[in-house]
Amino acid sequence: MLSIRDLSKTYANGVEALKGVSLEIPNGMFGLLGPNGAGKSTLMRTIATLQDPDTGSIRLGDLDVLADKPAARRQLGYLPQEFGVYPKVSAEAMLDHFAMLKGVTQRGERRDLVAALLKQVNLHDVRKRKLGTFSGGMRQRFGIAQALIGAPKLVIVDEPTAGLDPEERQRFLNLLAEIGEQVVVILSTHIVEDVTELCQRMAIIAQGQVRLTGEPRETIRALEGRVWRRAVDKTALPHYREKMNVLSTRLVAGHTVIHVLADAKPEDGFTSVPPDLEDVYFGQLRHAAATAKAA
């Protein structure tokens, strides 16, 4: 269990990145949803001991993460949104180097570990290839391999599927799901589908605050019978946004389609539709924006 209590962080420029964030994260896949600038990466870096919060605590089981960072790092695997590799070094040699840095000093043990990890992420057949020749999805899978060195109890992945093609994305998500059967895996993303498909529990963070936590299916169920859909003229969007609680707009076959949250049919022309996690997500973001504006 990862326990986060009252975590706050304000940067030198005055930006409040985290405002009293508290979360209980059990073993398994945990989705952290939020738009760019919501505070997700700040939270991930703080959990990963790469920066200190102003206030708050983080515990991984009995371990005080902030008080004993070296011990925390030994139990942590981290795949940041952007990570660098040496393009002219092979996957096998680079992973061997990472294992050495993680304290695996025996050559034979390191060789066996590197081979096992590359097989786990389905890169063993290309282990001699230079990392600079890898596709985006292959690079992400290599990133997971290095994050798994040392059998961590907590794995953090920050926006891991951004930019991947559908096949690579699914392959990567399947890999994460397998890892999440044994340890705590935090998936930080703004891609709602990733959380819907993978995560047993989730949280939505916006403007540095946790807006909603729970099981994805339960949060969706709370909106049943309250989401309405209609195709409208694009020029009429301001009118609908002023009169109704518009969750989202999207272009479908050349038509602008809106989803509206309401307890009853808003007006003629709307049809009731089954809610999904995207409706939950946009509803929370809209509420957060309205709260901030009112303040």
- Does residue 172 have a pLDDT over 80? yes
Taking residues 39-58, report their average pLDDT. 94
Q: Same structural domain for residues 149 and 246? A: no
d(CA 287, CA 210): 12
* Tens of pLDDT, residues 247-291: 999 888 888 999 999 999 999 999 999 999 999 999 998 888 877
Query: What is the pTM for the complete model shown?
Result: 0.86
pLDDT over 90 for what percent of the chain?
Answer: 61
Give counts: helices (H), strands (E), the chain: 10, 14
Q: Same structural domain for residues 262 and 212? A: no
- Does residue 162 have a pLDDT over 80? no
Q: How confident is the model at residue 295 (pLDDT cuts 50, 70, 90)?
A: low
End-of-domain residue from the set 195, 220, 245: 220
Taking residues 134-145, report their average pLDDT. 87
- Are the C-beta atoms of 249 and 235 separated by less than 8 Å? no
End-of-domain residue from the set 220, 254, 270: 220
Q: Same structural domain for residues 118 and 146? A: yes
* Tens of pLDDT, residues 63-121: 999 999 999 998 999 888 777 778 899 999 999 999 998 888 899 999 999 999 999 88
Sheet (strand 245-252) strand order: 245-252, 255-261, 227-232, 271-272
Tell me which residue range forms the domain holding 290. 223-294
Q: How confident is the model at residue 37 (pLDDT cuts 50, 70, 90)?
A: confident
Let me know how long the chain is.
295
- Does residue 294 have a pLDDT over 70? no
Q: Same structural domain for residues 241 and 204? A: no
At 263 the pLDDT is 94
Q: Same structural domain for residues 258 and 184? A: no
* Residue 95 C-alpha from the chain's centroid: 24
Q: Same structural domain for residues 148 and 279? A: no
What residue has token string 């605050």? 209
Q: Same structural domain for residues 29 and 172? A: yes
Could you tell me the sign of the dihedral formed by the alpha carbons of 220, 222, 228, 234, in that order?
negative
CA distances to 29, 60, 287 from 46, rounded to whole Å, are 19, 13, 26
Q: Same structural domain for residues 192 and 227? A: no
Sheet (strand 28-33) strand order: 76-79, 154-158, 184-189, 28-33, 201-206, 209-214
d(CA 30, CA 47): 14
End-of-domain residue from the set 220, 250, 285: 220
d(CA 186, CA 44): 9
Q: Domain containing 162 — which CATH number?
A: 3.40.50.300
Query: Per-residue DSSP letters for 60-118?
Result: ETTEETTT-HHHHHHTEEEE-SS----TTSBHHHHHHHHHHHTT---HHHHHHHHHHHH
SS3 at position 206: strand
Q: Same structural domain for residues 205 and 229? A: no
Q: Same structural domain for residues 6 and 121? A: yes
pLDDT mean across residues, the chain? 90
Q: Same structural domain for residues 272 and 138? A: no
Taking residues 201-209, report their average pLDDT. 94
* Tens of pLDDT, residues 7-23: 999 999 999 999 999 99
Task: Tell me how many domains the chain contains.
Answer: 2
Q: Same structural domain for residues 256 and 279? A: yes
SS3 at position 187: strand
